[in-house]
Amino acid sequence: MKELRIRTLIGLCLIAGVLSWSGAGLWDTYGTLPRVPVAAPIVLGAIAAVLLATALSLRARLKAQRERQPDAKGVEPMVAARAVLFGQASALVAALVAGMYGGTGVFLLTSGGDDALRGSQTLHAGLAVVAGAAVVAAAVYLERICRLPEDDDNAPAAPSAD
C-alpha cells in the first residue's frame, strides 16, 4: 500500500470545494438553499473517533509487542492492513466531503441574507469541515502507527544455511 499524500487530500478537498461552491450558486438561482444535514458532522465525528480508537489500540498493542511483555497480544499483519485501508478510504472520502461542505459553507457565508436557516446551514457546514479534518488527521495518525520500520541497509546479512 502506498502512503496517503497530504497534497492529494488537500487537492481533492479544494476541487470538491470549488465544484460545490459553484453548484450551490447554481442551486440558489432556482430559489432554494443548498442543505447541509445535521447528521453530517456527527457521522464524520464518529468515524474520526473510531479511527482514533483503533490507532490508540494498535499503538498500545504494538508497543507491548516490541517490549516483549509476557501478556502482550500481538497484532496480526492483516488486521493492521485492514485498519490502514479503512483509514485511507475514510480520509479520501472525508477530504471530498469536507471540500463539498466547505464550498457550500463559503457560498452561504458570502451570498448575503441574514435568515436563521442560512446561518444554521453555515454552522453545520463548518462543523462538517472540522469533523472531516479530524477524520483525515486520525487516518494519517493510524497510518503512521502501522508503518513498518525501515530496513537497515547497513545491517549485516543473516548467515545462510548452506
**For residue range 121-143, what is the model confidence (pLDDT) as tens digits?**
889 999 999 999 999 999 999 99
pLDDT score of 61: 85
- In this prediction, residue 101 has a pLDDT band, given cuts at 50, 70 and 90, of very high
Contact 88, 1 (CB under 8 A): yes
Do 99 and 14 contact (CB within 8 A), yes or no? Answer: yes
Is the pLDDT assigned to residue 9 strictly greater than 80? yes
CA distance 83 to 71: 23
Greater model confidence, 116 or 106: 106
Give the largest Cα separation in the chain, rounded: 81
What pTM was estimated for this model as a whole? 0.82
Place of cell 442551486: 27
